[in-house]
Structure 1
């Protein structure tokens, strides 16, 4: 098939594009500039590269027609964040027969009430990101139900991790000092009792989910799927697991969140609050049953793979 991947050089696209090439598809990689993927693969030599600025193109209403002009059989949209942007793409693709695979987020779910959270759970998002993605999901599911609508599938990743970038730590933020403290066995402060949850996923497992949705599109169209590891981690369990990986004994101290806020930067505190106020723990039963999704990495293994890269780059201690 002729596949256009929007945001092809990002976290997931860096793994997905080589998968698609190896499966025999003709791939056009669309990105804003000439950025390189997070890791090199010989498959990229067989990819057509197209530079398009989506933000500018959406404002001028030229981006979606440019994608449609490529005459794709499949569009993989990794970087759509507003309903307006999604509407433009849908309008441009309608009637073409193209399949649209949209990258959503587990943040379409607000605070967890019953866990694991299924795709059928009522949407209670808050914040611009989760709310915007929920609006896009609603649009695309309605579109898929129309007789002449664009065939759409929505795939919701958790906290994406892997080589090439920092990942969410056991405090629920991006403070690299937390990894160093766990490696050294020095004190790490966690909010509340450390029982809130985080649900990571390796970028290659997300790519696997997209490839599975493509392969089983007849079953997948008109549905949403969670793409996460087998099980979420509590903050406490996450910290203990990483300390053990480093061969250290964790020294954890638990304080009320408002006290925790005063012990870190405003940026890290806000990130922590954003994660623990949701405490996602997602079911992958639908993805497993319908798509055949089988994540290779546990949450800890995904993070350990990312930490190995960060250590090689000199940004965290080596195990």
Structure 2
């Protein structure tokens, strides 16, 4: 198939584009043209590229038409964050493609009732990001069920990999948290540290998109969680990181109102978002229907990212 990947040089696209080429597809990598992939691969020389400024073209109402002009059999949209953005693309591609795959998020769920959460559970999203993604999912799946567009939605967790700082055990993105655990310094966690986070390696997300494309007769009209096999608690996460460096984690647990005064405003906002969601998602459906088989556990995925941070001198141990 001729597959157009929108957002091709980002976290997921870095791994997805080479996988698609290896799977025998002709790939058109769409990006704004201002960033190289996070990981270099000789496979990229077999990839066609197209530079499109999505924000500008959507404002003109021409982004969907620009994607359609690339003559795709399938489109994988990794960077759609609003319902109008999704609608413009669907209206242009209706009747023109065999498969449209959208990258969602496990935050479409909001707080869970039963865990691990299933795709079939009622949505209770909060926060602009989760609400917008839930609206996009509902729109795309309804359009698929009505026969307007053959769409599939994949919902990753906290995407990690070498090249960027992963979500840390304190629920934010300051990489020094890993250094403090490595050096045996005390680390504060909110509440009792029992809220959960659910990571996934970017390459495992890429694998899921390839599998959904392979099994599109099953995947059309469906959504799937794409995460590691198990979520982890903040406390367990911190203890595991410390053990990598031969240490016992020195943790203290603070009520939220006290914890938020120990970090920056930006870090506190990130931590609150993550502990309020406390995601814990099942991959049983993706395993059964798509053959999704994640290579990395949550901690294995994070370890690879932290090793990169140490190599770059970002984390001092």
TM-score of the superposed pair, with normalisation by structure 1: 0.98
> Which structure 1 segments of 5+ residues have no match?
none
> Which structure 2 segments of 5+ residues have no match?
none
1:51 aligned residue: 51
Q: Give deviations 1:108-151, integer Å, cap 9, x for gaps.
A: 0111221001101111111111111000000000010113x110
Q: Give deviations 1:237-294, integer Å, cap 9, x for gaps.
A: 0000111112211100001011000111111011000000010000000000000001
Matches within 5 A, 1:45-84: 45-84=45-84
Instruction: Report the Cα offset of residue 70 of structure 1.
Output: 1.1
1:144 aligned residue: 144
Q: Tell me, in whole angstroms, the C-alpha distance in 1 between the residues paired with 2:221 and 2:142.
A: 8
1:35 aligned residue: 35
Instruction: Report the Cα offset of residue 34 of structure 1.
Output: 3.6
Q: Tell me, in whole angstroms, the C-alpha distance in 2 between the residues paired with 1:190 and 1:216.
A: 42
Matches within 5 A, 1:53-202: 53-147=53-147, 149-202=148-201
Structure 1 runs of 4+ off > 2 angstroms? none
Q: Tell me, in whole angstroms, the C-alpha distance in 2 between the residues paired with 1:173 and 1:34.
A: 26
Q: Tell me, in whole angstroms, the C-alpha distance in 2 between the residues paired with 1:304 and 1:97.
A: 39
2:207 aligned residue: 208
3-state SS in 2 of match to 1:173: coil
Q: How many residues align?
A: 317
1:272 aligned residue: 271
Aligned-residue Cα RMSD (Å) equals: 0.8
Q: Tell me, in whole angstroms, the C-alpha distance in 1 between the residues paired with 2:266 and 2:34.
A: 30
Instruction: Report the Cα offset of residue 317 of structure 1.
Output: 3.1
CA contact (8 A) 1:9 1:35 kept: yes
1:219 aligned residue: 218
Q: Tell me, in whole angstroms, the C-alpha distance in 2 between the residues paired with 1:288 and 1:11.
A: 22
1:301 aligned onto 2:300: yes
TM-score of the superposed pair, with normalisation by structure 2: 0.99
Instruction: Report the Cα offset of residue 181 of structure 1.
Output: 0.8
CA contact (8 A) 1:34 1:51 kept: no
3-state SS in 1 of match to 2:133: helix
Q: Tell me, in whole angstroms, the C-alpha distance in 2 between the residues paired with 1:15 and 1:96.
A: 26
Q: Tell me, in whole angstroms, the C-alpha distance in 1 between the residues paired with 2:168 and 2:129.
A: 20
Q: Tell me, in whole angstroms, the C-alpha distance in 2 between the residues paired with 1:4 and 1:137.
A: 20
3-state SS in 2 of match to 1:225: strand
CA contact (8 A) 1:111 1:280 kept: yes
